[in-house]
Amino acid sequence: MPPSQTVTPELRQWIIDQAGAGITAPALIAAMQESGWNEDVAVQAVEEVLRAHLDGLAQSRGLPAAVPVPEPDIADSPLCIDVGDRQVEVLMAMANPRVVLFGNLLSPEECQAIIDAARPRMARSLTVQTRTGGHEVNADRTSDGMFFQRGENEVVARLERRIARLVNWPLENGEGLQVLHYRPGAEYKPHYDYFDPGQPGTPSILQRGGQRVATLVIYLNNPAKGGGTTFPDVPLEVGPRQGNAVFFSYERPHPSTRTLHGGAPVTEGEKWIATKWLREREFI
């Protein structure tokens, strides 16, 4: 084992050079372990070095600066995360883009309680109109939806506390929980969740809590067919299974985050989901 587990400038440059030559992050970590590095130290070193390098490249290309984002505590590859009142399973994790699939975030009874509370208030879903800061009907989004106020009822407040612990982000930085209902044929075509900084309405939107920096899509039922959450740039499709949730974060409002995503058409049955968007600062 090396006399020190310190990440030296020489090691940083080696990681960058190897990555530039096409060596994958898992292969870099394996090579460091063969040289005596602790696995956790190797994983952290590769992630931090490559992220810092990519941030530098991004800024040199004139991209927006990266900001801190929510991050689940999964560096040591746990099977579950304790969120206080239940153990949430870690089913899959991807580093770039940061995508984590969780299981057992909600019980079937809690899922049904959210659906029952939302159903009487459903209306055609709107999207944020970044040209003006308002909202509009968008042909790309053919679901019905509604918003709960933060902490509006017991099950919503309980879910919000779990999410805050799960992704290590202040509860008050979350927008109100949105519930969406997709009937057969309904979909949400690929899009980004951050607000386009080039649009004139974005500054007014950001006054309420800054940029969105992460999303959690929570599946409230089991559609018979279709309705997965797709990430075309990866590519990846997450199947909608009741009680599970897919988390993804985006450190800058730019396509380089590879967080383009959509809701695939429901081909049989119906789909109910809840979406939690997380902001940089307190959402007011």
pLDDT at position 63 is: 81
Token pair of 232 as six digits: 């075309």
pLDDT at residue 184, as a whole number: 95
What is the pLDDT confidence band of residue 141, given thresholds at 50, 70 and 90? confident
Cα–Cα distance for residue pair 63/284, rounded to 1 Å = 27
| Confidence (pLDDT) at 57 | 67
Confidence of residue 64 (pLDDT cuts 50, 70, 90): confident
Q: How is the chain split into domains, by residue range? A: 9-60, 80-279
Q: How far is residue 24's CA from residue 270's CA, in Å, rounded to a whole number?
A: 39
Q: Which CATH class is domain 80-279?
A: mainly beta
Predicted confidence at residue 152, as pLDDT, reads 97
CA distance 151 to 221: 22
Look at residue 202 and tell me whether its pLDDT is greater than 80.
yes
Q: Which burial class, exposed, middle or buried, applies to 244 when counting CB atoms under 10 A from its CB (0-12, 13-18, 19+)?
A: buried
pTM of the model: 0.79
Question: What are the tens digits of pLDDT across the range 219-249?
Answer: 999 999 999 999 999 999 999 999 999 999 9
- Parallel/antiparallel/unpaired status of strands 123-124 and 127-129: unpaired
What are the CA-CA distances from residue 56 to residues 12, 51, 70, 265, 278 (Å)? 14, 9, 21, 38, 25
* pLDDT in the model for residue 203: 95
Structure-derived torsion over alpha carbons of residues 138, 139, 140, 142, reported in degrees to the nearest 10:
90
